[in-house]
Structure formats: structure tokens, C-alpha cells
Amino acid sequence: MHPRITLTTLYKMKGKNEKIVAMTAYDYPFARIADEAGIHIILVGDSLGMVVQGESSTLPVTMDEMIYHTRMVSRAAGHALIIGDMPFMSYQAGRQDAITNAGRFLKEAGAAAIKLEGGAAVSQTIKAISDAGIPVQAHIGLTPQSVHQMGGYKVQRDDERLMADALEVEAAGAFSVVLEGIPSDISEKITQALSIPTIGIGAGPHCDGQILVLHDLLGLNPVHIPKFAKKYADLGGKARDGIKNYIDEVQTGGFPSDEHCY
Ligand code: KIV
């Protein structure tokens, strides 16, 4: 078993230019596989709304659903840092709400940190949560909870605004920041300017680490594979073949055979 990843581990990795590797997971079996493989961070992302629940955005995901999934992931992981993702409207309406909801991830679900979306606009919320002793990962650039405000899932190119957001979330106390849907040259400048680790998704190779959504990484997303994602395995194809074999064997009398009978 590898030692548990902490914030200190991540800072040291940034200092040594050692890449941080993160992925999402939403349940016990996949979190266990990811943890055994040596992943550094497991984010229980609100992307579960789209890849697990089949919604067309992350907006319907609730706090209770996030707690349910985060608890399963925490039970599985002995090595990775577990981050719970604050769902839409769990932190936007007020600071008190934000602290209470962030606390639930640590108190009820075994996470070590939380993530929330937004830059300068949420910096006071980041400060309030981290002042309460809860580590906060920020998330700037393409922020899926603002899909309607952004007019779709669009790459964000306003370099001045992105840099200002990054500096502000760092100053507010974020321990790390996800950079999503940002041109590589802008992410490179942000990564150099910050002392906290940047974790990229669709943000090029210069970030301190990378994160992918489990279903994109393992070929479980039949609907849409984004340009920035790479499929490292085709579990969807393998699962379909296995199930087809099962159907075939039951219908042709191959299963159950003697070895499966009492
Ligand atoms: O919800 C999620 O999975 C995320 C990652 C894509 C960073 O926010």
C-alpha cells in the first residue's frame, strides 16, 4: 500500500516537477481499482450527473447524491486524496450554506477536501470554507455549472481574466486549482505564476497535473468523447461483448454447465 496522499505531497510534487495524476470515480469498485493503480487524487465529480445519472448537464445533482457517492469512494481508497465536488447551488446562495455543505463532505462522506467552481466571484466563499479548516480546490475556465451563462461548453480564452481568477483563488486559500478548457499557453503562464498545483482538463500539457473523467478514460461514455479526453481502455466494448456471450450461452444451453450447478 502506498502512503496516503496529502496536500503536502501535492505541494512537494509541484516543487519537484513531478506530475500529479487525478481522475474521477463515483463508486466503490472503480475507486478501489484507481487507488490500487496508484492514482494521486480521486475527485467525486458532479460530472456524475452526466456520466452516471444520464442527465444533460451537472445542474440537477444534489448534495445528498454527492454525499452518497463520495462515501462509497472514500471507503475504497486508502492512498488517493479524496475530493468531493460541491454541486450547483450548494455554495452560491450564501457563505453559511457553503461552509455547512463543504463540512458534510468531510464529516459524513470521508473526503479530505472539496472542490467548487468559479474564480474571483467565489474567492470569499473559498476563504470562508478554508478558514473553517476545509481544504478547497478551485476550478476556473470552463466551469460546467455556468453552462447557460457561458452559452455552452466553450473554451475560455480571456487570458487577463483567467490569470486574475487564478491569483485570486490562490490568495483566498485554495490548495489547488483545476484549469478546464483553457488554451495551453494560458495554462502554462498560470501554472508558472501560482505556487499551488494546477490540475488541467483540456488545458494542455503544462499544468502540474491532469484529470480525466473515468467514463472517458475507460471507454464507458458512449454519448460524447470530448477532444481533450483520451480513451485508455474500452471497457464499454468489453462489457457489451461479455453480456452478448452470456445471452448467447443461456439461449444455446452453454450456461449454466455442470461446473455452475449444485
Ligand atoms: O465534475 C467533474 O468531474 C469535474 C472534473 C471534470 C474536473 O469537475
Query: What pLDDT digit, counting tens, does each position of 195-209 carry?
Result: 999 999 999 999 999
Protein residue with its CA nearest to atom 2 in ligand 1: 45
The percentage of residues in the chain with a pLDDT greater than 70, rounded to a whole number, is: 100
Average pLDDT over residues 142-169: 97
Instruction: At 67, give phi and psi (nearest 5°).
Output: -65, -45
Mean pLDDT of the chain: 97
Give helix then strand counts, H and E, for the chain. Answer: 11, 8
**How many angstroms separate the alpha carbon of residue 1 from the centre of ligand 1?**
26
Q: Residue 1 has what pLDDT?
A: 57
Determine the atom of ligand 1 nearest the C-alpha atom of 47.
Answer: 1
Q: Answer left, alpha or beta for residue 231, where phi above 0 means left and psi between -120 and 50 means alpha.
A: beta
Give Cβ neighbours of residue 195 (< 8 Å, ≥ 6 apart): 14, 170
Which pLDDT band, with edges at 50, 70 and 90, does 222 fall under?
confident
Protein residue with its CA nearest to atom 6 in ligand 1: 213
Using a 6 Å CB cutoff, which residues line ligand 1? 24, 43, 45-47, 85, 139, 178, 180, 201, 211, 213
Q: Is 224's pLDDT higher than 90?
A: no
Q: Give residue-wise pLDDT tens across range 48-59.
A: 999 999 999 999
Average pLDDT over residues 14-30: 98
Q: Is 182's pLDDT higher than 60?
A: yes
Q: Residue 225 has what pLDDT?
A: 80
Which amino acids are annotated catalytic?
180
What is the value of pTM for the model shown? Answer: 0.97
Determine the atom of ligand 1 nearest the C-alpha atom of 46.
Answer: 1
Protein residue with its CA nearest to atom 8 in ligand 1: 45
Protein residue with its CA nearest to atom 3 in ligand 1: 45
Q: Give residue-wise pLDDT tens across range 89-128.
A: 999 999 999 999 999 999 999 999 999 999 999 999 999 9
**How many angstroms separate the alpha carbon of residue 242 from the centre of ligand 1?**
30
70 and 110 Cβ atoms separated by less than 8 Å: yes
Count of all residues that appear for the chain in the document: 262
Q: Residue 221 has what pLDDT?
A: 87
